[in-house]
Every structure is written in C-alpha cells, then in structure tokens.
C-alpha cells in the first residue's frame, strides 16, 4: 500500500500539482505538466523551507491548497517510498529464509535502498530542511 500511495501521488502531482514555495520567500516554483513543464523538465518540487524538517501530513495544513503550496506531496511521496522499499527488502529476506536460501538478494537490494535513504532522507536532515532534497523528476 505504501508504494501504491507513493506512485499514485507522484503521478497526480507530476501532472497537476500547483507551484510550490520552495524557498519560503513567496516565489513559487512550478514543476507539473499543467503549469508549462514537459516530461524532461517536470518534477515534484521539494517541501518549502518554511516547513523545515517538520512532518507535514495533509491534516496538519489548514487546507489542501496550503498543503500543496508548501510542497506536501514531496514528503508524502518520499516517506511512503522509503518505507515501501524497506518493507520490500524485508519481504525478500523473509522469502529467502522460508525457502531455505541465503539472503544475498536482500543484501544486494539493500545498497540502492541505502542510497535512496541517503539522498532523500539523510541529506535533507543534515541540511536542516526537506527543501534541500532532490526534486523528483528527470532533470531535477
């Protein structure tokens, strides 16, 4: 369910998300197709610097418009994606254990999971804001 949520929100936001105030200076940056980007230049713009490292679920915003303006879909996609791929890694380990195999597939899969975690979670935490995270798109 977490990977399905991340994928669904990514597709919807990539097509139709409004511009996001990424720097917290009231100068929105658009990343969706409906706001003039193409497949190459389109991206899910990271959460606003005004949010920082705070967990920003939909129910914390006064309205969905505010949540979209502050880049809420970015956190939702990243956190659901990381949880989903970590759980999938655990599923691979469990399947290999139940089949009496060695867990090398899960061990090999842990490298890209660690890389994604470093880029999408550890680096923004080190910088102090999810606004410093990598945009989710081809050209970023």
46-98: per-residue pLDDT in tens? Answer: 999 989 899 999 999 999 999 999 999 999 999 999 999 999 999 999 999 99
> Where are the chain's structural domains?
2-137
Query: Where residue 119 falls among pLDDT bands split at 50, 70, 90?
Result: very high
10-60: per-residue pLDDT in tens? Answer: 999 999 999 999 887 888 999 999 998 999 999 999 999 989 899 999 999
Residue 140 has a pLDDT of 59
Strands 43-44 and 136-137: antiparallel
Query: Where residue 139 falls among pLDDT bands split at 50, 70, 90?
Result: confident
C-alpha–C-alpha distance, residues 33 and 48, integer Å: 20
pTM, to two decimals? 0.91
C-alpha–C-alpha distance, residues 25 and 6, integer Å: 28
CATH placement of domain 2-137: 1.20.85.10
């Amino acid at each position: 369910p977490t990977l399905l949520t991340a994928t669904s929100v990514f597709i919807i936001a990539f097509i139709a998300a409004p511009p996001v105030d990424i720097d917290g200076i009231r100068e929105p940056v658009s990343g969706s197709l409906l706001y003039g980007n193409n497949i190459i230049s389109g991206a899910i713009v990271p959460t606003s610097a005004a949010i920082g490292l705070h967990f920003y679920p939909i129910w914390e915003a006064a309205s969905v418009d505010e949540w979209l303006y502050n880049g809420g879909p970015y956190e939702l996609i990243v956190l659901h994606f990381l949880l989903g791929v970590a759980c999938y890694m655990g599923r691979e380990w469990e399947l290999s254990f139940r089949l009496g195999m060695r867990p090398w597939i899960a061990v090999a899969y842990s490298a890209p999971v660690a890389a994604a975690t470093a880029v999408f979670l550890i680096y923004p935490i080190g910088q102090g804001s999810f606004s410093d995270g990598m945009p989710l798109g081809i050209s970023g």
